[in-house]
Amino acid sequence: MSDILKAQIAEFITGKLKDSGKGVPENFDNTTPLITSGLIESLYLLELAVFIEEETGTPLDLTTVDFTKEWDTIDGIVNFTHSHSK
C-alpha cells in the first residue's frame, strides 16, 4: 500500500514539475526535499492533499501538520498519511 501510494504521489509531483516548466531533478526520489528546496509550489501541497484523500478514500487530519517538516519528502508524506488519516 505504502509503495503504491508513494508511486502515485511521485507521479503527481513529477507531473506538476513538468507542467510548471521546472522539470524533474535528475536524482528525484522519495527522499528529495520538496518544500525546503523550493521545488514544489505551496498550492500544489493542497492539491496533493486532495489527491491523497481521493486515492486513499480517507480524510486527512491537517490541523496540526507542519508541512515543512512532515511533508518535505514523499516518504514523509506517506508516513504522515498513515498516521493522520481519520
Length of the chain: 86
Cell of 40: 514544489
- Please tell me whether residue 69 binds another protein under the rule CB under 8 A: no
- The reply on whether position 80 binds another protein by CB under 8 A is no
The CA-based angle 36-52-2, given to 5 degrees, is 85
Contact 75, 29 (CB under 8 A): no
Give the contact letters, 43-62, x = binds to another protein (CB under 8 A), - = no: xxxxx-xx--x------xxx
Contacts with another protein by CB under 8 A lie at 16, 19-21, 35, 41-47, 49-50, 53, 60-63, 65, 67-68
